[in-house]
Amino acid sequence: MSKGYDPMKIDSMDRGDFLKLKDTWNLSPEVIKAAKVIYPELNNLDLSTWTYGKYYKYSKIKDDEKYRPMPEQINQFRGRGITLADARYMLKDFNNYQAILNLSDDEIKEYLLGYYKFKETYAKTLKGIERNKKDSNNKASFRISATSKIIDGATYYYCYVPGYGYDWFHETSQTHVGINSDMYGADAQQIFEAIYPSGGSYYATNMWGTYSLAHTGAHEGIDFNGTPEGQNLLAVVDGSLGQRDSTWGQIAISSTETTHAVNYRIFYMHMVNISPYSTINAGQIIGKESNVNTDGIHLHLQVYHNQSQTYCHTSDDNILSSDSPYSIFYTWV
């Protein structure tokens, strides 16, 4: 018999107790569907008897493999006294390990001091949270989480997203709410496949709503890394191409009535060879991934709905003003 949740038990638990219980539940059909998108090697397996505990253990092993530096890079990090966990976090702002290794020791120290200051602030705030401070949403989308006010009154939650890993996510992103983290990982994979013609497993160094040390605030889009360098990037929807900005390598697609993502502006940043056309169809090349005005080669994808932005929102703050990119192109039911 499939194991499930008991609301009566949930009400008496703190977050640690809840996570232990959740590990014993069988995966829901929605999460099974998401798992097979994120990890295609699971497609031919029956996951109906898998528990959340087994799935998350599997996904963490796979994600660690995907984000692990090359052996020679590991040796260089160790030789410079940099932990692999710290190097992994630095990917958020430098996008590849070689870019991190190219930094001086003083530059790395300055970055990590800022990172640990953020972690210390977070830890001190969590320390004062009462055991019974929790919340839950209907159906299987439970949220048992402390109201931890971090950085200028913004709330960030430490969450795990399959296919990406652990990070701090802004409350507005709703990543901390039950099933969302699984769905967001699958949506990001499918958006990646729509943009990168070579396909493969997506490699994201920042997701929507994560805390960015470089921006000292919420990250407004998804940072995708494709291989090889200079990868062609495809339009995700039909639309008209807006004003080009060579300083940021930026262009926006204004979606048309022919797409289900109506009235969206989808921004691509850090590109070269931007398409000269005024209109575009989904699947057409609109430019190449590059490192224009950024520390490492990657694509920043950002979206707005029913707004008239000419440029991406780039100010340093903790207001997540862009729209979620996850459910625009793909709907999970």
Query: What is the SS3 assignment for the chain?
Result: CCCCCCHHHHCCCCHHHHHHHHCCCECCHHHHHHHHHHCHHHCCCCCCCCEHHHHHHHHHHHHHHHHCCCHHHHHHHHHCCCCHHHHHHHHHHHCCHHHHHCCCHHHHHHHHHHHHHHHHHHHHHHHCCCCCCCCCCCCCCCCCCCCCEECCCEEEEEEEECCCEEEEEEHHHCCCCCCHHHHHHHHHHHHHHHHCCCCCCCCEEECCCEEECCCCEECCCEEECCCCCCCEEECCCCEEECCCECCCCEEEEEECCCCCCCCEEEEEECEECCCCCCEECCCCEEEEEECCCCCCCEEEEEEEECCCCCCCCCCCCCCCCCECCHHHHCCCC
Give the pLDDT confidence of 101-136 residue by residue, as tens digits.
999 999 999 999 988 888 777 666 655 544 444 544
pLDDT band at 202 (very low <50, low <70, confident <90, very high): confident
pLDDT > 80? residue 29 = yes
pTM for this entry: 0.87
Give the pLDDT confidence of 218-242 residue by residue, as tens digits.
999 999 987 766 789 999 988 999 8
